[in-house]
Amino acid sequence: MRILVLFSFWVSTTMQADILISLEATLVRPACVITNENGDKELYINFPNVAIERLTEEKATFGILIKQCDLRKNLQIYLSPKEGSTLNINNETVLSTTTKGLGIRISEENKSSAIDLLKWQQIYPKIVGDTARITLQSQLATDQNPQSLEAGPFSAALSVMIDYL
Q: Which residues have C-beta within 8 Å of that of residue 117, sequence separation ≥ 6?
A: 79, 80, 81, 86, 93, 94, 95, 106, 158
The predicted structure's pLDDT at residue 129: 93
Task: Convert the pLDDT of each residue in 35-77 to its tens digit.
Answer: 999 999 988 888 888 898 888 888 899 999 999 888 888 999 9
d(CA 161, CA 155): 20
What's the confidence (pLDDT) of residue 34? 93
CA dihedral 78, 83, 88, 94 (to 10 degrees): -50
pTM more than 0.75: yes
Specify the CATH superfamily of domain 30-164: Fimbrial-type adhesion domain (2.60.40.1090)
> What residue ranges do the domains of the chain occupy?
30-164
pLDDT in tens, 19-38: 888 888 887 777 889 999 99
